[in-house]
Amino acid sequence: MKSFFPVVTVVAAVLLIWIIAVVPMNMHLTADQAQRDGLAVSPDTPIARQDFSGLGLAVRNSHLIPLTYVNVRPRLPSPHQIAIELYDTVIDKKITSKRSLVYHGWVTLAPTLLGFAIGTLLGIMLAVGIVFSRVMDRSVMPWAIVSQTIPILALAPMIIVVMGAAGIQGILPKAVIAAYLSFFPVVVGMVKGLRSPEGMQLDLLRTYHSSNSQGFWKLRLPASTPYLFASLKIGISASLIGTIVAELPTGAKAGFGARMLVGDQYGQPILSWAALFAAAITAAALVGIIGMIERGTLRQMGMKPA
Amino acid sequence: MIYIVLGFAFWAAGWVLNVRLANGPSGDVRSVRIAIPLIFGLTILVVWEFFVLGFEINPVFLPRPSDIMIRMSQELPRLWADFVQTIIKGALTGYIIGGLAAFGVAILADRSEFLTRGVLPVGSFMAALPIVGIAPIFVKWFGSDWESKAAVVAVMVFFPILVNAVAGLRDTTAMQRDLMRTYGAGYWPTLFKLRLPAARPFIFNGLKIATTLALIGAIVAEFFGSPTVGMGFRISTSFGQLALDMVWAEIVVAALAGSACYGLVTLLERWMTFWHPSNR
């Protein structure tokens, strides 16, 4: 709680900078529109106005400043425009409507969650294999680490189209990308976690004459829980980003990514920005939910986050 | 059919060889430790080649590794031009701008305990968001050449570097700071001689996360508008022409560039934080 006021201050400062920036960013557009509506604008031709910066124009036409906040097609929408658009499309629209962001959100969320589940399961399995097999450790682990440095996310749209051409459609192609992106963080984190018990603890189990599998279920797996949650948080946001990027340039008809692109192409920037913020809120909610499960689970087990 | 059998045979042979090497007496020798993943990678490539031949997979879906290599050797000048446009002009410029900005904000925020406590949670929150979604907006703002890509990259790398730099600058003990005070060192000497060096492991951690992000940002932003050169542009247009071998050639370049950049930052880290326990 002691970071509540600092966070509010920083957020307020960012909002303030944004609100101030709206004026110069939109001034040229607003001046053109004002002239068409018969208002006095100086200088009075669009070409002459090009010589001025947004700020300079704002100083000369201070009576137009309020109008920069109500542009229909702003370069930079003001926060309240986005808030209204979000309210309209999240709360006012029926969820079955094609214009409801809840509908688009589900289109993005379903493959994210499916892929995340698949990626996490496979990741845990591979990590178990790596910890118990020297060959797997030596041959697969270096590639798992190298694969983190490859900008694979940039290829997400291509993977979608290839799979579509091969007849695989629906949520599966996007889920594959989400799975791939959450897979490696889980592998790397779980290998670290399963190896976190110290020699002394392993020795104790050996004095109890416990088998390898008992050592796994009773020591290694519980010990890896904090590491698992740390990588789950990375994995879920990577999954969501992957799904959105996969939707962006592929001509997807629904989903946050499609919404951002449609707003951009049809000259409705407020729509893009609303989708961007909705995606951000979704990402924050997903990470927050995992964080809550983490806190609950670790408290039950009497552990601390990794 | 023969190719499928060959594929399986090669897989088995590679696996047996690796099992021997890993469990053998020289399993911990450095050269063997490097050889094992290389053999694994080679096995995958060969099996891929044989399976594409054996199952007669249409090269439109999945080209053979040999096709990709031939294509790469033919298209070297074009690949180089794309590399310069996307990685050097787009990603590197944005990386430097974003990194410097993050660094500056971190040092400013660090002067006040209040700001630090505000910047840290907000920054790590922002770092988890799908920032790459601003790419279409930025392409509209800054035009379709590399400037817009650099802008996207700068915003993407800003938050991870900021969070790590702020966290790093806090990573000195009261005893160390007291020692500096007994030397009569003010804010600036303490910053340069104690706190910045102490923050280096954190900063490099942020820089490493940011390298991959920078490449992703630069390539993805090109999907929304670019001059007729660049890796993202080439990937999407080659894809439209069903020239999948060219797409894969760009993927290979992206992978090599990604690993090389990461490796470079890691080397720099070893050199500049040689004193840190993880490097000794």
Query: Which residue of chain B has the CA closest to A164?
Result: B61
Rounded to an integer, the average pLDDT of A264-285 is 86
Residue with tokens 């214009």: A99
- pLDDT greater than 80 at residue B253: yes
Say if residue B31 is in the same domain as residue B111.
no
CA dihedral for A258, A261, A267, A273, sign (positive or negative): positive
Mean pLDDT (chain B) is 86
Domain check: are B225 and B161 in the same one? yes
**Eight-class DSSP state of A77:** -
Environment class of A304 (CB within 10 Å of its CB; exposed 0-12, middle 13-18, buried 19+): exposed
CB atoms within 10 A of CB A277: 19
Res A137: pLDDT: 83
pLDDT over 80 (residue A95): no
Query: What is the separation, in whole angstroms, between the first and last Cα of chain A?
Result: 21
Residue B64 lies in a domain: no
Least confident of A54-63, A205-214, A237-246: A54-63
Residue B168 lies in domain: 72-279
Q: What percent of chain A has pLDDT over 70?
A: 98
Nearest to B125 among A148, A157, A284 (CB): A284
Residue B67 lies in a domain: no
Residue B153, pLDDT above cutoff 70:
yes
Q: A280, B129: Cβ pair inside 8 Å?
A: yes
Higher-confidence residue of B200 and A67: namely: B200
For residue B134, give the DSSP letter. Answer: G
Asked whether residue B202 is assigned to any structural domain, the reply reads yes
Do B52 and B187 lie in one domain? The reply is no
What are A107-119's pLDDT values in tens digits? 889 999 999 999 9
Across the A:B interface, residue pairs with CB atoms under 8 Å apart total 160
How many structural domains compose chain B?
2
Task: Choose the closest CB to B140 out of A140, A237, A264.
Answer: A264
More confident residue, A130 or A33: A130
- As for the ipTM of the complex, it is 0.81
**B152 falls in which pLDDT band (50, 70, 90)?**
very high
| pLDDT tens per residue across span B111-127 | 888 888 888 888 888 88
Better pLDDT: A16 or A97: A16
Q: Are residues B37 and B83 in the same domain?
A: no
Per-residue pLDDT, B279: 65
Average pLDDT of chain A is 84
* Annotated domain spans of chain A: 4-76, 101-301
pTM of the model: 0.85
| Cα–Cα distance, A82 to A263 (Å, whole number) | 13
Q: State the nearest Cα–Cα gap between B92 and chain A, in angstroms.
A: 14
Picking from A169, A178, A179, A152, the residue whose alpha carbon sits closest to that of residue A253 is A169
End of a domain among B57, B80, B97? B57
What is d(CA A53, CA A42) in angstroms, rounded to the nearest whole number? Answer: 13
Q: Which residues on B lie below 8 Å from A276 (Cβ)?
A: 130, 133-134, 137
Does residue B147 share a domain with residue B90? yes
Residue B261 in contact with partner chain A when CB distance is under 8 A: yes
CATH number of A101-301: 1.10.3720.10
pLDDT of residue B100: 95
Q: Looking at the structure, do residues B33 and B128 belong to the same domain, yes or no? A: no
